[in-house]
Structures are given as structure tokens and as C-alpha cells.
Structure 1
């Protein structure tokens, strides 16, 4: 009996499954859940757009910080969680995987509290620096206060989903986010416009929709992880260990630089767009929302590759890990490239959803003409970023983000100093995406992930 109890856990099925079909199978539920989240973004932008140009411009000021928190919790720290959990499972250590889940919850609560305090205390100053003034600044502060008061719920939902994804469960989180998306659209629209007996709260109602959905999704994911049948079960019992925090943070903490780079890039572009006027700022906000349509494609494939890479690294099969990474990168590049090119050719299909203001529509269309054709590079870099997290080797993608940030910062300064026309800003955005994709791919190609052959058991 003792020998049976002490026997190692059987190998995870993802360690032997065919790469491309398995990536597609894992990515499908992720794509469904992420597209639902994207639909929410579209709906919310449409809601706010019907309130007028000033609320739309206010939302454009807050959006980069909402993106920052989402990318940090789901992509950076969430990737650190998925990487640590998948590597533990790949090595056959179930107890460690479950202890890592407990530590992830503590980290989520800490980061959530940090975001709440910073944005409540300093939000007005931040949005003022980005060019917000008058009524635009006032509405940005109110919208931000509602959303970031529930930052802990947003962090928890994304970190809990990362635990499930790290175990190879892509369906559970996707279904939870799908339901949450429907709830967010319904609550946000009802409170924004005062449908039925509800009060008409405008942009505040949209923020309350986000807060409500995040809270409900968090409760659902907690239930999934506390069930006896969960692949990695979450329990409150057990000590907290520095070494386990370190296992998550050694990938998650450096990865925090990536969303900071991304959002800093967006903030620079937003600040420049604001100096071209309200129409350009609102138009950029609409155009950049296309990323919410495209990012889920790259995210779904990239996040599917993360546990496959992590499990392979944990088992010592580096060749398989690299094969997974390049396959995922190719899939994401193809998906984003086709859709981005299509919308660059017919931008009206996207822009008309949000506005009928001629000036705003012209600015948004101009953005899509420049950015759409190069989303192929954007998709490649995003998918490879998640694969690199699975391997615990994210230096290359971080370098790529740094190069892009410097390019946009220096280029943006030149545009402001020379009084360049607005189209040059959108050209700069496109050049930044191309640079990030090329540098990411090159760095992945030359960075060693470990021995080239599987470790023999």
C-alpha cells in the first residue's frame, strides 16, 4: 500500500499531445471567453460614445490604466502563476501546485489594494498629466474611481483563472468570463441609460457594470477551484513560504515590466493625441479599441501555449517547448494579420459602431489605415511573450517592449516639437508594432531554454 501511495503522479496528458491540434483545442475556449470580453469593450465604448465626445475622451484617458491592471493581473502575474503551477505539475508535484495556488490569492489581494489606493489618491493628477481638462477630467476621475474601487476583484478573477489555465483547464475560466461579459453588458447598459426602473448614471453606470461582473466571476472561479474534483485545489490551510512566492515572482515580477511598457507607450500616444484636439483623441480611442478585438486572438493562443511550454520545461523536453512556442506565434500572427488588414481596408465597419461624428470618424479611420496592416507583428510578439513566460525566459520580450517604448517616446517628442500632422502619430504606432514583433522573435530564436533533448526519466 505504501508503494502505491508514494508512486509519482502519471504524466500530464499535455506532455504527449500533438502540438498544433492541442493548441487549437486549448485556444478555442479561451478565444470564446476573450471575444466575449472584447464584445463588452465594444458595447461599453458604444454606450459612452452615445453620451457625447467628452465622455468618450474621458474613457480614452482611463482606458490605458484599466488595460495596465488587466495585463498585469492576467498576463504578467497571471502568467507567473500559470508558469509556476504548470512546471510543478510537469515535475509531478501536486502538493506544490496547490500551495502555489494559495500564494497566488495573497498576491492578488495585495496588488488589488495597491491599485485602489494609487488611483483613488492620485487619479486626478495622472489624468491631468495626460491632457485631461475641465469636464473631460472630471468624468475621467469619476469613472476611474468606480472601476478601481473594485481592483481586488479584478485581480482575483484573473489570478484564479491563471491557476486553472496553468493546470490545463481552459474551459472553466472561459465559461466564467463569458457569463461575466453578458452580465457586464446588461448591467452597464441598464445603469448607463436608465433602462426600466434603473437610474440613469451615464459613465458611472458603465463602471458599475465592470465592478459587478468582476465580483461575480471571482466567486464562480473560487467555487471551481475549491471543488474536490479541481485539478489544482485551492485551500486556505497551510503556511505561506517565501520560496513559493519567489517561484511565482521570478517570472511574474519581471513580466510586470511588459504591461508597464505597453501602457506607457499608449499613454505617450494618448498624450500626443490629446494635443491634437478632442477629435483626434476620441478617434484614437476608437481606433485603439481594435486591439481589444485582436488581442484576444493572440492571448487565447499564447495562454494556451503557456502551460504546454511550462509542462514540457518541467519535464525536461525543451525541444517540444520550442515547437509549441513557434507554432503558437505563427497562429497568432496569421489571425491578427488577416483581421487587421481587412479592417484597414474597410475601417468604416469598425468606426461606425462608435461614432457618427465626421472628425472623430476620420481620425479613427486614419489610425486603422496605418496600424491594421502591421497587427501581424503585434500578434507574433504577444503569443511568443506567453510562451517565454512558460519557459521562465522573458528577457527577450521585455527587451522588445523597451525598444518599442523608446521608439515611441523619442518619436513622439519629435512630433510634438515639430508640430507634425496627426497621421505621423499613427505611423509611429505602426513602426512600434513592427519593431516589437521583430525583436521578440529574434530574441526567442537566440535565447537558450535548456538542454536540446528531453530529460530521461
Structure 2
């Protein structure tokens, strides 16, 4: 299945030399644009999925709010956390001029992705119902959540493989093919999920299970495509299965930073889960409204992700080549651009929340809850974008401890503050204000960590 091409074949197009010498902002934008386009596809999937789930009823809409944090945890860990560790290891090897090491790292990354996907499948199939019940899911809402979850997480390995292979390619500076693949996956997911969920195109109406089937089938096809592409020798790195030998240092190089980086999305999702549990006590309408609002928060992560992952190979190759000052400049510029974009989105929706809310519901109670969320949390999106992008940049430098601690501070603030507010009988709007404060703490905390941490080759 694999072609063992000559190990000294040079990198085409976006070579290490170009990433090490080109002007920072134009290069960041050039690398980020394919990711932004791919993330637009992801956003369209989320909008479409939420829209046709809304057509299934209020209970399915509330159910997706219970499952969504776990679905995003799978994506965030595989694409952003462990994926960032993979991109960082590959780019640092290429920056140091060691192509062979980068190719060996790629195969070890695939093994990690398969193992992690199996773990997700096992955990969610065994404990999914208990987790959704713990979050406040009851009756038909709980049943709908489980119907969606069982199908979705049966395909966790495919999600991890797509994102792992995409991260390997991004580590070489290739942002186009991973983005094109994700766009294709998104298109398939919309068509298949909508068709099977609502019974369109003559397909059976399977409800929530049908919606989840769209993601399972689309990511399975995406994983197969990337495996065949990289094994064929057409990529900037080749999967050399025939000559593969397990090497513990390769696992360590990826896991010592990737595993720690996984704490950040885990904490982010725990923050959402704790908040979801608190909001669930205010009723189905408020929970559904918060689900609409928090879904956009998760969708803003990919925008920060686009610039964050663009910074990883630039930072990683600069660190590998000993250009530490350039690596730090890349991080700050990427963070500033992300903060500007997310800040503008947040301010617009804080003023006109109906631009987003009206896409998903006409229920007055649900719309009021979602609008209140944007009124309060919207101004904090700039700090959220700053924190997320700097977190990715820190992965390129293999220095993720500080950003992880900033995420811990956000988690504790929401957990302790949220508990205190609900105990005192505070309205839902007070909890949404807490979201704003937590975003500010996260963004400024991550920036402080980057400023104080010494980066070295």
C-alpha cells in the first residue's frame, strides 16, 4: 500500500526555507486562508445540522446541546490538541532538516490517532447515557441524545484519523489538501445527514440517528482518502509502512506535548458541561437557547484554529532552526489577527443577536435565552480568540503549560462562580455575564503565560 520514495526528496512549494524567511503576516494569511475556507464548511455543517434538528422538534434541539460538547471534544482533541502536537513534532523535525524523522513521526501519529479514537468510542458507548443524564437530560430529550450519540461515536476512529493525517500535512506547511478534504467531508455530511435525518431524496427518515450517520460516513470516506493519498507518495511526506519500526522516542515527542495540550480542550468542554448542567435547571427553553449560543462559541474556535494551526509550522520550524525571536513574533501576530476577527463577530452579535438566533428557532422563550447569551458573552469573544490562537502557537514551541493553566483558571471560575450564582437564585443573564468574565481571564492569562515563558530550540 505504500511507496518508499527516496528519503532525500525535497519539500515542494511551501518549504521550510520559505516558512523561515518569508514575511510573517502575509505568510500567516496565506497559510490560514485554506483553513478558514475549511472552517466555513464546518460552520455550514453546524448551521445546517442545527437547522434540520430544529425541524425535528424542541426535544432534539435540547438533546444536541447535551451531546455537542462531547462531539466537539473529539474534534478539538484530535485536530487541535493532539493534532497540534503532531504538527509541532513534524515541523520541528523539518526545521532541523530531518525529513526521515518527520516521516517516522507521521506513522507513530496514526497509531496514536487510532488508539485515541477507539478509547472515545468505548467510553461514549459505555457511559454516554449516564453523562447526558448527569447533565440534566430526561425523558425524550435523553432518548434523542442517546440515539444521536451511539451512531456518532461509533465512528470516532475515522474522526481521529482524518484530523491526525491533516495535522501531519499541516506540519509540512501544506494547508490546501487538508482543507480541501475537510470541505469534501463537510459537503457529504450535510447531504447524507440531512437526507437520512429528515427523509429527503427518497431516503428513510431516521431522525437523530440519521443526522449522526452523515458525520460517520463522511469522515470514514475522508480518512480513507488521506490514507491512500499519503501512502501513494504524492504528499510532502510518505507513509513508509514497509520500513516502519516502533520507536518509543517518537511517541514521546508527540505525546509529551500533545497529551498535555489535550488538557486544554478537556477543560474547555468541562467548562461547557458544568455550565450546561447549571443552565439545564432553568428549563428546556433556556437550555435550548444556550445550546444555540454555545454552538457559535464552538464555531468561533475553528476561526481561531485556522490562524492557530497556520502558526504551528511557522513557530515549529523557527524553533527547530533556532530562530526563537521569529517564532515569538509569529505567535503574537497570529493572536492579534484572531482577536480582531472574533472580537468583531462578538460585538455584532451582542448588538444584533437575531442575526444568528433566527436561523434556528422561532420560539420566543428559546430566542430570548439565546439573545441574552450573546448580549453578555459577545464582547468576550476577542479574548477567547486571543487565548485559543496563542495556545496553538505555544504548541509549535512545545511550551503548552502556561496556556493549559489559563484554561484551568477559566474552568474554576465558571465552576465556582456558577455554583455560587445558582445557589443565590441569580437569573440566567448573570450566568451569561460570568461567561464574559471567564473569556477575559482565559485570553489575558494565556497572553501572560506566553510573555513569561522562555522559548528555546
Shorter-chain TM-score bucket reads over 0.9
Quick check: 1:300 aligned with 2:300? no
TM-score by length of 2: 0.96
Residues 206-245 of structure 1 correspond to what in structure 2 (within 5 A)? 206-237=211-242, 238-245=244-251
Instruction: Supply the distance in 1 between the matched residues of 2:228 and 2:361 (Cα, whole angstroms).
Output: 40
Once structures 1 and 2 are overlaid, which stretch shifts more, 293-302 or 368-377?
Answer: 293-302
Match of 2:442 in 1: 436
Instruction: Supply the distance in 2 between the matched residues of 1:23 and 1:162 (Cα, whole angstroms).
Output: 16
Question: For 1:335, what is the secondary structure of its paired residue?
Answer: helix
Indicate conservation of the 8 Å contact 1:12/1:89, yes or no.
Answer: no
* Selected match of 2:339 from 333, 336, 348: 333
How many residues in Structure 1 have an aligned counterpart in Structure 2?
Answer: 447
Instruction: Supply the distance in 1 between the matched residues of 2:8 and 2:68 (Cα, whole angstroms).
Output: 51
Indicate conservation of the 8 Å contact 1:38/1:292, yes or no.
Answer: no
Once structures 1 and 2 are overlaid, which stretch shifts more, 347-356 or 235-244?
Answer: 235-244
Match of 1:454 in 2: none
Match of 1:65 in 2: 70
Shift, 1:177, TM fit: 0.6
Query: Which runs of no fewer than 5 residues in structure 2 stay unpaired?
Result: 1-6
Quick check: 1:81 aligned with 2:86? yes
Shift, 1:228, TM fit: 2.1
Instruction: Supply the distance in 2 between the matched residues of 1:70 and 1:280 (Cα, whole angstroms).
Output: 26
Residues 5-404 of structure 1 correspond to what in structure 2 (within 5 A)? 11-237=16-242, 238-404=244-410
Shift, 1:235, TM fit: 2.6
Distance verdict in 2 for CA 1:6–1:288, change over 3 Å = closer
The RMSD of aligned alpha carbons is 1.4
Indicate conservation of the 8 Å contact 1:306/1:386, yes or no.
Answer: yes
Instruction: Supply the distance in 2 between the matched residues of 1:84 and 1:95 (Cα, whole angstroms).
Output: 12
Once structures 1 and 2 are overlaid, which stretch shifts more, 221-230 or 248-257?
Answer: 221-230
TM-score by length of 1: 0.96
Shift, 1:8, TM fit: 10
Instruction: Supply the distance in 2 between the matched residues of 1:133 and 1:108 (Cα, whole angstroms).
Output: 33
Shift, 1:411, TM fit: 0.7
Once the two structures are superposed, what CA deviation does each residue of 1:122-175 show, in whole Å capped at 9, x if it has no partner?
111111110011111111111110100000000100001000000100000000
Instruction: Supply the distance in 1 between the matched residues of 2:214 and 2:291 (Cα, whole angstroms).
Output: 20
Indicate conservation of the 8 Å contact 1:309/1:390, yes or no.
Answer: yes
Once structures 1 and 2 are overlaid, which stretch shifts more, 221-230 or 421-430?
Answer: 221-230
Query: Which runs of no fewer than 5 residues in structure 1 stay unpaired?
Result: 452-457
Instruction: Supply the distance in 1 between the matched residues of 2:182 and 2:152 (Cα, whole angstroms).
Output: 17
Match of 1:422 in 2: 428
Indicate conservation of the 8 Å contact 2:52/2:194, yes or no.
Answer: yes
Instruction: Supply the distance in 2 between the matched residues of 1:434 and 1:368 (Cα, whole angstroms).
Output: 15
Shift, 1:11, TM fit: 5.0
